[in-house]
Amino acid sequence: MKNLWRKLILLLGIVILVDSFLFKFLIWNLPNESAWSTNFFFGYEYHWRELKRKNFQKPLVLILGSSIAAYSFHTEELQKALLEQGFDVEVEILSYAGMTPVDTVLLSKKILLLNPKIIIYPINFIDFRIHREMVFRTPENLNWKKDFLLKDTLNYSEAPQSRYSYPLEAVLEFYPILPIDRTAEYLLAELFGMYRYRDLYYENLKLLYQHRFGKNISYHGYCGVQIPEGIDSLGWTGRKFSFLVKNYMKQEGFYVQIVPEILKKGSLTIEFYSSKGQLLQKEIFSSHGWKKIQLQSEIPEGEMVQAVLSDIWFAYEASGDRLDFHRDEMGVRLQQTFGLEFPRVSLQYVREPRKEDYRYENMNEEEYKEYFFYRLLSFPEHRPGIVYFSNIWESKKWTNTQNFEPNPHYEYLLRWKEILKPTQTKMLLINNPENPITLNLYKNSNWYQTQIQFLKQIESEKIKFYDIAELLKPQDFSDYHHLTFPAMLRMNVVYSSMILKELE
């Protein structure tokens, strides 16, 4: 019997060692070749480990938060702006979509291990999950309790980060309200990396395989070379796209995706012209799918070539996963790493301009408003994916009928006062800009004004609160709260002035 137990203990030890090596060490030391704001839970975990290993020689300005943070800050440009004012600092982002104040508090020990001088924490309506609170706090549900919202926050389908990023912390914090099966799940995740990260490491491994052995045609976010005429975040060109010729394009070729919609009038012709306007090559396609193009050998490497399509298509006329409610001219889709000999790494927080960022630059407010409702709220019967946007819209109106009562996310945000008290770290808590179209739904309500007063109470010796919710115009937003690329760059002046006050 003793021998059996020894064997079982030895086997368990071996399993834990192998698991720790493969899933707590190795996968975090393989290259991260995800595009900006994709595979974001993996990206957060990966980048936190990168920063932990980094020996910062300069003060660290750490930007924390949900996608609000990722869409609002350009770290390289902000770092340059601060340097121009005489402050040489490191600027980094730790963010993932849907990060709530509950998340930040449970991650606070890991965050403070990086010893940031200043934490920048932009927040918005969406971060407090009011749209979920609206679901629970109804006249029919008189027994609504805040525990419901916490449990919802920890729900795997709603918040998988609780298992990825802080399973042990979740158990220690919430064991009184956690069911036994959820407690066991978190403890198992803390012990075994394969279970904890099973939905993360596969995506990165698949990406690495695609980049080295595949065609780079299965992806969500484009991370190839910039296209002068513009390219969207999913890799779709317009009628024209230019690029520098690389040898692999002549030796191995590259792939473009052709959709059925662009073939409605007949075959698609793609003509390649030199920088002097000379026709170099012509390709004709009569069927859809990913098609290989091999540039002719006499086209010199480094030549700037422009491809011109004989037709375009529109996503609102498409079917299946190509259906989308915008009016951009669409051409062909390029491979994820188009134009690169080797994939780029560590792009998780490197935002680059995309076609959709410039849709609204030349629109007046009425044109933008029409487009806003068309793209985000129209035809809900055909678009199950916009339920989320509809819920947020309704929840903003719903607050007009409510008295502000801080839900758990507000209460956890308040805990940062105590967390920072024994440290040398300061925090800039920012009520970030919101699209005036949605802000106007509730900004004059008692709920909103009381919420602002609550946020002001978080100010302390270590925390400074800024309210800049009304700073920008509608055209600066791609939706309710995400900034376009040009608006993000313009906001550098605002954010850098806030940071300078703390550095001086």
Domain membership of residue 300 (yes or no) is yes
- Phi and psi for 308 in degrees, rounded to 5? -125, 125
Q: What is the CATH number of the domain that holds 234?
A: 2.60.290
Domain membership of residue 323 (yes or no) is yes
- Full pLDDT tens readout for the chain, 504 residues: 667 677 677 777 787 888 888 888 889 999 999 999 899 999 999 999 999 999 888 999 999 999 999 999 999 999 999 999 999 999 999 999 999 999 999 999 999 999 999 999 999 999 999 998 888 877 766 566 777 788 888 887 777 888 999 999 999 999 988 889 889 999 999 999 999 998 888 888 999 999 999 999 999 999 999 999 999 999 999 999 999 999 999 999 999 999 999 999 999 999 999 999 999 999 999 999 999 999 999 999 999 999 999 999 999 999 888 889 999 999 999 999 999 999 999 999 999 999 999 999 999 999 999 999 999 999 887 777 788 899 999 999 999 999 998 999 999 999 999 999 999 999 999 999 999 999 999 999 999 999 999 999 999 999 999 999 999 999 999 999 999 999 999 999 999 999 999 987
Residue partners of 325: CB distance under 8 A and separation at least 6: 315, 316, 374, 375, 376, 378, 379, 383
How much is the pLDDT for 142?
A: 59
Domain membership of residue 396 (yes or no) is no
Q: Are 53 and 226 in contact (CB under 8 A)?
A: no
C-alpha dihedral over 128, 133, 135, 140, to 10 degrees? -170
Map residue 319 onto helix, strand or coil. Answer: coil
Q: Are 248 and 254 in contact (CB under 8 A)?
A: yes
Our measurement of the distance from residue 240's CA atom to the centroid of its chain's CA atoms, rounded to an integer in Å, reads: 28
Q: Are 263 and 291 in contact (CB under 8 A)?
A: no
Domain membership of residue 291 (yes or no) is yes
β-sheet bridge partners, residue 123: 431
Measured at the CA of 13, the angle between CA 9 and CA 16, to 5 degrees, comes to 140
Domain hosting 256: range is 224-342
Domain membership of residue 275 (yes or no) is yes
How much is the pLDDT for 65?
A: 97
Of the candidates 433, 390, 406, the one whose C-alpha atom is nearest the C-alpha of residue 137 is 406
Tokens read off for 20: 């720790």
Q: How many Cβ atoms sit within 10 Å of the Cβ of residue 206? A: 14
Domain membership of residue 270 (yes or no) is yes
Distance CA 179, CA 171 (A): 10
Between strands 118-123 and 268-273, the pairing is unpaired
Whole-Å CA distances, 35 to 144, 222, 243, 264, 328? 41, 6, 20, 32, 22
Helix then strand count (H, E) for the chain reads 21, 12
Tokens read off for 431: 């009520």
Whole-Å CA distances, 369 to 143, 380, 494? 39, 18, 25
pTM: 0.93
Q: Radius of gyration (Cα) for the chain, nearest Å?
A: 25
Distance CA 157, CA 103 (A): 15
> Using N-to-C axis directions, what is the helix angle for 167-174 and 180-191, rounded to 10°?
150
β-sheet bridge partners, residue 121: 429
Domain membership of residue 295 (yes or no) is yes
In 279-379, where do the E strands start and end?
279-285, 289-293, 304-309, 333-334
Domain membership of residue 182 (yes or no) is no
Q: How many domains does the chain have?
A: 1
How much is the pLDDT for 386?
A: 84
Q: Are 231 and 355 in contact (CB under 8 A)?
A: yes
Whole-Å CA distances, 468 to 5, 48, 490? 63, 28, 14
